[in-house]
Amino acid sequence: MFSRLVFRRASSTAPHIPMPSPRASTKASAKVSGIKALTQRYGKAAIVVYAGLCILDLPLCFMAVRQLGEVRTALLLNKAKLLIGRGESDEDALHARLEQHVANENANEMTTRSWNEGPLLGQLLMAYALHKALIVARLPLTAAITPRAARVLCRLGLHVPV
């Protein structure tokens, strides 16, 4: 009995607007953006540009961390260790001990170090963390460079969709 009833609007001045199907709404919301859209549009050229930027970025981050110096790097690592409960709480004593260590090392002129000794491994880890944090700069830079790089690759004779 209820299946035969037809419901109509009693009095409405607005025209009837059909409801979109559920499939149409998922297609509109599934619009691809970011690095995935670049990869779909430019293919391997986008991946090459992103990888090239990563290859340039990591050594630059390492050089920037190395420029901080051993003492500042060790102090920053100590602050990071304090977050997980493993660092030294007396920062002044640590700073004095690190300054003394650097002075002794310069006096002895030890040039060979293993990766586990000294701050070299810590500096590399800090550089990697900085490199990972800079993804917010690498992605827009990749998006800006990729179209031009794809055109250059096409001129060189490589098949890259433009």
Q: Residue 57: give the domain boundaries.
A: 35-155
Determine, yes or no, domain membership for 20.
Answer: no
- Are 146 and 46 within 8 A, CB to CB? yes
Average pLDDT over all residues of the chain: 76
List pLDDT tens digits, range 112-152: 555 445 568 888 989 999 999 999 999 999 999 999 998 88
Confidence of residue 13 (pLDDT cuts 50, 70, 90): low
Determine, yes or no, domain membership for 95.
Answer: yes
pTM of the predicted structure, to 2 decimals: 0.61
Q: At what angle do helices 91-108 and 70-83 cross, to 10 degrees?
A: 140
Beta-carbon contacts of residue 118 (< 8 Å; ≥ 6 apart): 70
Determine, yes or no, domain membership for 6.
Answer: no
- Are 57 and 134 within 8 A, CB to CB? yes
Q: Three-class SS of residue 89?
A: coil
Q: How many domains does the chain have?
A: 1
Check residue 157 and give its pLDDT: 83
Q: How many CA atoms lie within 13 A of 142 on its CB side?
A: 28
